[in-house]
């Protein structure tokens, strides 16, 4: 079995066995990882690879946004919806203009969201 096949199977197994709370944490980790990799590619002037990882980060943030319930009536969900929209548009701008500062801003915002998410117990999420 190749390393890539092993990683794919391992990832699928982790996702299948994860709670909703863990899945959100995994999405935050994925976004952070892809933005970090995109910043490295930007620093090394590898535009295509940067673009690929920013696109992955955008898809993850959009998935987080799509997971919000009652964002039109729930103030917290509505604020998160707007923040995810801001992060997405900032990633798009960073991609188009090759802006490391914008990537760093997104990285910092997602780290704050991840830390806040981890401070919530899984029981609170299920309620």
Provide CB contacts within 8 A for 120, sequence distance 6+.
21
- Kindly report, residue by residue over 9-29, the tens digit of the pLDDT: 444 555 566 888 899 999 999
Domain boundaries 26-119, CATH class: mainly alpha
* Contact between residue 73 and residue 61 where contact means Cβ atoms under 8 Å apart: no
How is residue 81 written in tokens?
């919806």
- Kindly report, residue by residue over 33-63, the tens digit of the pLDDT: 999 999 999 999 999 999 999 999 999 999 9
How is residue 118 written in tokens?
């981890």
CA 76 – CA 79 distance, rounded (Å): 5
- Kindly report, residue by residue over 69-107, the tens digit of the pLDDT: 999 999 999 999 999 999 999 999 999 999 999 999 999
Neighbouring CB atoms inside 10 A of 100's CB total: 13
CA 23 – CA 60 distance, rounded (Å): 11
pLDDT band for position 5 (cuts 50, 70, 90): very low
């Amino acid at each position: 079995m190749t390393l890539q096949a092993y990683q794919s199977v391992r990832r699928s197994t982790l996702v299948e066995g994860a709670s909703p709370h863990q899945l959100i944490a995994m999405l935050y980790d994925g976004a952070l990882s892809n933005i970090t990799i995109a910043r490295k590619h930007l620093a090394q002037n590898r535009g295509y690879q940067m673009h690929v990882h920013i696109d992955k980060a955008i898809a993850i943030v959009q998935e987080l946004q799509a997971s919000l319930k009652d964002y039109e009536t729930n103030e917290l969900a509505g604020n998160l919806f707007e923040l995810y929209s801001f992060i997405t548009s900032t990633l798009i701008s960073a991609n188009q203009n090759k802006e490391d500062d914008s990537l760093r801003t997104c990285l910092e915002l997602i780290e704050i969201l991840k830390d806040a998410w981890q401070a919530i117990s899984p029981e609170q999420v299920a309620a």
